[in-house]
């Protein structure tokens, strides 16, 4: 089967610093893939290259058979690449409902009924457990709920590839458990690429794990293989340096 996403020699340098260095990466449709690695390993830069927020220095990105290396971010969104980022990007003065309505509108044809928009918004809010907070101004939601609202905004785009950057940061244990259920459900219809520092979440969710270190892929494998990998233990798992 053709992979949904591949990168070849993907590189991003800032001055002399190789934030991402010659990364060959491949993601199958329907996977839940976690990217882990110490602070500064290049994880956020890598997904920023994939979604087009940052232009690469060199290398190529292929999505669903198409070279998207030079494609602007908004067109990648239309192709089905949705992302949420470390820094909460909700509009604080708008309600949770309106925050989700903005991306939901982009997936509907011009002239669609307001009923379709409403059901798309409510479906995304329900899946993330935020339906009861539809009218709450996003800025007054707890940090954890704002992160979930970002996921709802991503879902409203009906993505084929959903990229989540540290989605469980700031969530309580109970919220993390429901979040894991949600990601499993999302994975029945989309591919999920997840940067995550919480190792219980990584081990519990990911089919495969990619470990980055100093801009490169250090290792890749199943949770079992990665837990047993000596180089990974040394670079990451054995240390307390978990962002």
Q: Does 7 bind ligand ATP (CB under 6 A)?
A: no
Give the separation between CA 161 and CA 86, rounded to whole angstroms.
17
Give the separation between CA 80 and CA 194, rounded to whole angstroms.
16
Nearest approach in angstroms of CB 150 to ligand ATP is 16
Is residue 197 helix, strand or coil?
A: coil
Residue closer to ligand ATP (CB basis): 41 or 100? 41
Residues 16-45, one symbol each (x = binds ligand ATP by CB under 6 A, - = not), give -x-x-----------------x-xxxxxxx
Task: State both tokens at 134.
Answer: 């539809």
Residue closer to ligand ATP (CB basis): 5 or 195? 195
Residue closer to ligand ATP (CB basis): 17 or 228? 17
**Helices 143-155 & 96-107 angle (0-180, nearest 10):** 20
Q: Are 151 and 182 in contact (CB under 8 A)?
A: yes
Nearest approach in angstroms of CB 42 to ligand ATP is 4
| Span from 14-22, 98-106, 167-175, 179-187 in contact with ligand ATP (CB under 6 A) | 14-22
Helices (H) and strands (E) counted in the chain, each on its own, are 9, 10
Residue closer to ligand ATP (CB basis): 14 or 143? 14
Residue 10's Cβ-side half-sphere holds a number of Cα atoms within 13 Å equal to: 33
By rule CB under 6 A, what count of residues binds ligand ATP? Answer: 12
The residues that touch ligand ATP, with contacts defined as CB under 6 A, are: 14, 17, 19, 37, 39-45, 243
């Amino acid at each position: 089967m053709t992979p949904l996403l591949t990168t070849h020699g993907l590189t991003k340098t800032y001055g002399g610093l190789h934030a991402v260095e010659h990364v060959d990466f491949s993601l199958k449709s329907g996977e839940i893939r976690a990217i882990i690695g110490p602070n500064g390993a290049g994880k956020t830069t890598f997904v920023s290259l994939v979604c087009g927020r940052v232009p690469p220095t060199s290398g190529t990105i292929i999505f669903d058979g198409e070279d998207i290396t030079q494609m602007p971010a908004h067109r990648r969104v239309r192709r089905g690449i949705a992302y949420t980022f470390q820094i909460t990007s909700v509009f604080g003065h708008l309600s949770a409902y309106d925050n989700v309505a903005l991306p939901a509108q982009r997936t509907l044809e011009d002239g669609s009924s307001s009923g379709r928009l409403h059901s798309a918004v409510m479906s995304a809010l329900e899946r993330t457990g935020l339906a009861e907070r539809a009218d709450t101004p996003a800025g007054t939601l707890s940090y954890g709920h704002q992160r979930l609202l970002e996921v709802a905004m991503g879902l409203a785009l009906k993505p084929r590839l959903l990229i989540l950057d540290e989605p469980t940061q700031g969530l309580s244990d109970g919220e993390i458990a429901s979040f894991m259920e949600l990601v499993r459900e999302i994975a029945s219809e989309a591919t999920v690429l997840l940067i995550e520092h919480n190792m219980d979440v990584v081990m519990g969710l990911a089919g495969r794990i990619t470990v980055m270190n100093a801009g490169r892929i250090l290792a890749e494998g199943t949770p079992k293989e990665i837990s047993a990998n000596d180089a990974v233990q040394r670079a990451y798992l054995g240390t307390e340096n978990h962002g």
